[in-house]
């Protein structure tokens, strides 16, 4: 339904779309509940016949599963989705690639993650939601930095920030991630500048920093040797980690770890030990291997600071054991995720190959009638919208039955193949890139010509006719030349596929009636 040129959804679909838009926030705040909600939204979409919404809901389910810590499960959901749909809509395709980038980041495979992130970025047209495009660009920037391409990373952060200006949550996300990258590189001045901007933006947008950003601020103060503000920011991060929206599920343990480091550096080893015990307990509930391993490493430092070197040694050994276990788990999860992606990619490649083969003539390799029926109407519509010339040339081999009867069907097949090569050469890149040659059946062929001027199709047809007539056919049909007749038509203002081919067919008949080996263009 539309009103004054604007598409209006019925109330049920409009409510569904609003609930889908709200799913993003829920994914960050409560992944488990978001996964359940996404599944329910997908069922509602199917019941309403809204296929696009159903796909987006299932992508949201995968995002929620990934945020909940089950990366292999998310990869499985996404590859299932890709297997069930030959083509995804632009937004769904970008979300799938972006979520796969997150999956492989979780699994420690940054290069593969970057491939998916760049795929997502390549699909980010201006018509996609600004929030999605910004988050994709930030993901590309994060991964480039982790892989050592720091200047490229800064450029992508710049692109993300341009999109984010005006949206407080997005703008803070971009600057926080960029600040963290400067922190990881140990660039004190750059990290301090980004921290100052982060605090300024918090005031400008009247939006308090979330736990993730507060933790970044605490770590930058620690890098700068500013222990008092570092402790204040770390405690604020711990206090807000359970309350802020759009948090990662491991924010709590990470913030506790940062606070423990600050306390140890300040000489408060006993307090640091208590905080680490709390962090370990939180990790045991959530099962986050990376954070758990980092906590063990810090506990070894704390025991050493307390003078308990035996406990430090035993904890250090536990850290290395946990690190090896984490590496093993990551490798196993990587293998499962890669296998799931690989299996679906192979299936999609096979499907694409079968689709392509179904639209090719097996003898000549040219396009066939099925391709013409599917593609020609689209091509004519594109030409009409773009104000470009489009023409069709129907060609027929003259006296082809006599070739088969006199020289054998094998010889006839070779004539068809050689003519196909002549036609392919004729349309290869000219006059327009969308021009193509097809075999419609038997000895009948079609050239579709786009671009150029009004007489372009007729000129091409005459060039083909001369090439066929002048070719050396003696190895295939000794003592007999091969010729073609052709009818040419140009798309009328109100014409379509049927009318175009009907005119070309009439003119082909006229060319044959006039003695063959000629082109009739009107």
For 88-136, write each residue's pLDDT tens digit. 788 888 988 888 888 888 777 888 888 889 989 988 888 888 989 999 9
pLDDT at 392: 93
**CB-count exposure of residue 139 (10 Å: 0-12, 13-18, 19+):** buried
Give the Å distances, CA to CA, from 431 to 317, 385, 388, 462.
71, 18, 11, 14
- The full DSSP string for 104-151 is HHHTT-HHHHHHHHHHHHHT--TTS-HHHHHHHHHHHHHHHHHTT-HH
> Residue 164: CA atoms inside 13 Å, Cβ hemisphere, count?
23
Would you call 329 exposed, middle or buried from its count of C-beta atoms within 10 A (0-12, 13-18, 19+)? Answer: middle
Burial level of 84, CB count in 10 A (0-12/13-18/19+)? exposed
Residue 87 confidence (pLDDT): 76
And the tokens for 71? 């990366």
Helix (H/G/I), strand (E/B), else coil: 447? strand
Q: With left for phi above 0 and alpha for psi between -120 and 50, is residue 180 left, alpha or beta?
A: alpha
- So what's the pLDDT on residue 312? 57
> What single-letter DSSP state applies at residue 196?
H
User: Which position has the token pair 């937004």?
Assistant: 91
397 exposure class (CB count in 10 Å sphere: 0-12, 13-18, 19+):
buried
- pLDDT tens digits for range 298-310: 877 877 777 876 7
pLDDT of 315 reads: 59
C-alpha to C-alpha distance for 193 and 379, rounded to whole angstroms:
54
268 φ, ψ to 5°? Answer: -105, 65
**Token digits for 233?**
């920011």
Q: What is the rounded distance in angstroms from the CA atom of residue 252 to the CA atom of residue 202? A: 21
Task: Look at residues 269, 259, 265 and name the one whose alpha carbon lies nearest to residue 239.
Answer: 259
The pLDDT score that the predictor gives to residue 163 is 92
pLDDT value, residue 156 = 93
Which residue blocks in 364-496 are alpha helix, DSSP H?
A: 369-386, 400-407, 409-427, 456-470
Let me know: does 97 contact 90? Beta carbons within 8 Å.
Answer: no
| Dihedrals phi, psi of 421, to nearest 5 degrees | -65, -40
pLDDT on residue 70: 79
Sites in the chain below the pLDDT cut of 50 = 1-8, 245-247, 285-287, 319, 322-323, 326-327, 329-330, 351
Helix (H, G, I), strand (E, B) or coil at 495: coil
Q: Fill in the DSSP letter of residue 367.
A: B
Q: Which H or E run contains 255? A: helix 251-265
pLDDT of residue 27: 81
| Rg of the chain (C-alpha set) | 33
In total, the chain counts a number of residues equal to 522
**Nearest to residue 281, comparing CAs of 268, 300, 299, 267?**
299
Is the distance from CB of 147 to CB of 118 less than 8 angstroms?
no
Q: Name the residue with tokens 């600071």.
A: 305
CA distance 75 to 66: 8
Which burial class, exposed, middle or buried, applies to 171 when counting CB atoms under 10 A from its CB (0-12, 13-18, 19+)? Answer: buried
The percentage of the chain sitting over the pLDDT mark of 70, rounded to a whole number, equals 85
Give the pLDDT score at 252: 79
């Amino acid at each position: 339904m539309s009103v004054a040129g604007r598409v209006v959804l019925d109330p049920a679909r409009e409510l569904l779309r609003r609930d889908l838009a709200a799913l993003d926030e829920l994914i960050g705040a409560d992944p488990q509940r978001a996964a359940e909600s996404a599944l329910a939204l997908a069922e509602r979409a199917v019941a309403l016949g809204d296929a696009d919404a159903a796909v987006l809901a299932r992508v949201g389910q995968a995002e929620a599963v990934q945020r909940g810590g089950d990366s292999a499960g998310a990869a499985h959901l996404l590859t299932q989705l890709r297997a069930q749909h030959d083509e995804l809509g632009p937004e769904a395709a970008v979300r799938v690639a972006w979520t796969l980038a997150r999956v492989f980041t979780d699994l420690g495979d940054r290069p593969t993650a970057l491939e998916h992130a760049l795929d997502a970025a390549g699909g980010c047209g201006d018509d996609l939601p600004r929030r999605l495009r910004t988050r994709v660009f930030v993901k590309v920037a994060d991964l480039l930095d982790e892989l050592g391409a720091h200047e490229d990373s800064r450029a992508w952060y710049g692109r993300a920030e341009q999109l984010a200006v005006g949206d407080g949550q997005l703008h803070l996300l971009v600057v926080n991630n960029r600040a963290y990258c400067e922190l990881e590189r140990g660039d004190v001045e750059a990290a301090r500048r980004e921290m100052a901007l982060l605090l300024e933006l918090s005031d400008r947008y009247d939006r308090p920093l979330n736990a993730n950003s507060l933790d970044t601020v605490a770590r930058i103060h620690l890098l700068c040797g500013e222990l008092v503000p570092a402790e204040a920011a770390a405690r604020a991060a711990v206090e807000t980690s359970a309350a802020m929206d759009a948090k990662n599920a491991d924010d709590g343990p990470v913030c506790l770890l940062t606070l423990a480091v600050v306390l140890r550096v300040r000489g408060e080893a006993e307090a640091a030990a208590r905080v680490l015990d709390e962090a370990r307990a939180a990790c045991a509930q959530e099962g986050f291997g990376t954070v758990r391993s980092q906590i063990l490493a810090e506990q070894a430092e704390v025991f050493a600071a307390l003078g308990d070197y035996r406990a430090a040694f035993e904890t250090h050994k536990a850290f290395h054991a946990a690190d090896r276990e984490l590496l093993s788990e990551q490798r196993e999860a990587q293998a499962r995720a890669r296998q799931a992606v690989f299996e679906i990619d192979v299936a999609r490649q096979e499907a694409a190959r079968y689709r392509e083969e179904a639209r090719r003539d097996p003898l000549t390799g040219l396009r066939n009638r099925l391709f013409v029926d599917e593609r020609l109407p689209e091509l004519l519509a594109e030409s009409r919208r773009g104000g470009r010339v489009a023409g069709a040339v129907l060609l027929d081999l003259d006296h082809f039955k006599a070739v088969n009867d006199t020289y054998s069907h094998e010889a006839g097949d070779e004539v068809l193949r050689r003519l196909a090569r002549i036609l392919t050469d004729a349309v290869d890149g000219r006059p327009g890139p969308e021009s193509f040659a097809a075999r419609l059946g038997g000895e009948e062929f079609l050239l579709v010509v786009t671009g150029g001027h009004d007489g372009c199709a007729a000129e091409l047809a005459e060039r083909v006719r001369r090439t066929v007539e002048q070719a050396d056919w003696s190895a295939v049909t000794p003592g007999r030349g091969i010729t073609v007749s052709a009818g040419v038509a140009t798309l009328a203002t109100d014409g379509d596929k049927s009318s175009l081919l009907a005119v070309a067919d009439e003119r082909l008949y006229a060319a044959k009636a006039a003695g063959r080996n000629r082109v009739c263009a009107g």
